[in-house]
Amino acid sequence: MKFSDELALDIRDLRMRYGTKDVLRGVTFQAHKGEVLALLGPNGAGKTTTIEILEGFRMRSAGEVSVLGVDPADGDEAWRAKLGIVLQSWRDHGKWRLRELLAHLGSFYVPYSTEQRKRPWDPDELLEAVGLTEHANKKSKQLSGGQRRRLDVAIGIVGRPELLFLDEPTTGFDPEARREFHDLVARLADDHETTILLTTHDLDEAEKLADRILILSGGTIIANGSADALSRQIEGAAEVRWTRDGQRFVHSTTEATQFVHGLFKQYGEAIGELEVRRASLEDTYVTMVRQAESGNDEAAARVFAVQNSDGDAATLEGHVA
């Protein structure tokens, strides 16, 4: 998909220190308008810290940050009205009924309605979009954990944001709710042209939703590219399995097509039960984070940074058994 040339996020050399601990040591990335980015990283890597700085909730130690063209430190109400935020946990408004709560919160966005973006979202349409129609008259404290999370998402998007931050949005969702949520995110990105930055530990979710994956480790972005492009960057990105003369073989290669071609050229019809399995995002993620954590940050950054979002991987030598 081709995105707008305009940047929704422009982050350069972002640094954050808590006391004597450097959590972010120079984070740099951009997001084009309409792009969906997944920010991945181990527990404590600084994902929440990063998005809280972008939301204007936390002041950074250093670096340049532009969010919808504004430095969050100077963001006013009109800027805030263009953002949607779903925090990791949010517990209040327990006595409010869902439809009333969304209508009330939505009323704050009325002054910021525009021709292109009618604000706020109609409460009933919104409840339907997040699958809570049958609970419209319930108090929020009567919801289950997963239903409460859907309400969090509804609160986050009630103002029809141009930029949406989702911090681990599907924690506690059952598989069906997760799938519905994924459809909703795809609709927000495609139909409503919303730029989305999400954090998640669910790598299938990241692969499914994100146009581009960012991996944060050791205080910097160690990988930046589509899931496909990243998987092509690691050693042995695909596993080829086959049988020949009753024997089983397995071979890891970054050039599966070339390898299989060589295999058939050499052994022809003697090859049976051929199977090619590409590295999953999980394989890629674990390999990259391990290498970065083993102190090889510089090499990791050199190998894994895929700067173009189309993600053309470098050509690597294939291996033939």
Q: Give how many residues touch ligand ATP by CB under 6 A.
A: 10
For 318, the token pair is 């294939």
Identify which of residues 162 and 168 has a Cβ nearer to ligand ATP in the complex: 168
Min CB(182)–ligand ATP separation in Å: 20
**Rounded Cα distance, 59 and 72, in Å:** 9
Min CB(46)–ligand ATP separation in Å: 4
Identify which of residues 11 and 238 has a Cβ nearer to ligand ATP in the complex: 11
Min CB(191)–ligand ATP separation in Å: 29
| 268 is an interface residue for ligand ATP by CB under 6 A | no
Min CB(23)–ligand ATP separation in Å: 4
Closest alpha carbon to 213 in 231, 232, 227? 227
Sketch the per residue contact string, 38 through 57, with ligand ATP: x for CB under 6 A, - otherwise. ---x-xxxxxxx--------
Identify which of residues 42 and 318 has a Cβ nearer to ligand ATP in the complex: 42
CA dist 46 → 19, 25, 49, 170 (Å) = 15, 10, 5, 19
Min CB(19)–ligand ATP separation in Å: 6
Identify which of residues 7 and 51 has a Cβ nearer to ligand ATP in the complex: 51
CA dist 216 → 67, 145, 209, 255 (Å) = 19, 28, 18, 27
**Rounded Cα distance, 79 and 114, in Å:** 13
Identify which of residues 31 and 45 has a Cβ nearer to ligand ATP in the complex: 45
Q: Are 216 and 14 in contact (CB under 8 A)?
A: no
For 135, the token pair is 């609970």
Q: Select the residue interacting with ligand ATP from 23, 83, 166, 209 (CB under 6 A).
A: 23
Min CB(310)–ligand ATP separation in Å: 28
Strand order in the sheet with 21-32: 21-32, 7-18, 62-67
Q: Which long-range contacts (CB under 8 A, 24 or more apart) does 173-178 make?
A: 173/146, 173/149, 174/146, 177/131, 177/146, 177/150, 178/205
For 253, the token pair is 């290669």
Identify which of residues 17 and 251 has a Cβ nearer to ligand ATP in the complex: 17
* Footprint of ligand ATP (CB under 6 A): 18, 23, 41, 43-49
